[in-house]
Amino acid sequence: MSTQALEPHLLEGLRQSAREILETMVFMTPKAIDPMAEHDSTFRAPVIGLLGFTGTRSGTFVVRTDETLAKTVAAKMLMMEVADLGSFQETADAFGEVVNMLAGNFKNAWVASGNQMELSVPNVIHNGEVSVRSDQDGCMRTAIRVQLEQGSIDVGVHFESQ
């Protein structure tokens, strides 16, 4: 089985997307945004945001973090204190919107490279496990780890085989 990584300019587009969204929409400045190996297509995490896409290639954005950071991100984006958030559903809604913005911003780099991409609606899973279809020959997957003062967020782009 062989999987591919994103081309360097698309990886840079993913990094720029993460920086821009976190700084301008969530008001959090990343300390570092580094490429990371994405060896698997099954994920278990406290908070997993998913957003499927179709177009030139189909696939899934997978954004993972811990519950504390997901709540911090949600509160900052909503200009609230973490303690003022209601149920986890409020956190999930805001985190899903962050996933949507990350994917939408990356879409610009993908389309600028001559591709097409149509995004679905984000879904957030709380304390779960998910598998995406990026473990077959011809698949492409890449991820970055965004280091924030409060912890890290992993952002992966998983393309199914063509």
The CATH code of the domain that includes 147 is 3.40.1550.10
Task: State the pairing for strand pair 151-159/59-65.
Answer: antiparallel
% pLDDT > 70, the chain = 97
Q: Can you give the pLDDT at residue 6?
A: 81
Of 70, 61, 69, residue with least CA distance to 156: 61
**121 vs 160 pLDDT, higher one:** 121
The tally of domains found in the chain comes to 1
Tokens of 140: 């492409």
SS3 of residue 23 by DSSP: helix
Determine the structural domain holding residue 46 and report its residue range: 3-159
Distance CA 101, CA 14 (A): 12
Model confidence pLDDT, tens digit, residues 129-149: 998 876 677 788 889 999 999
Eight-state DSSP code of residue 161: P
Distance CA 108, CA 16 (A): 11
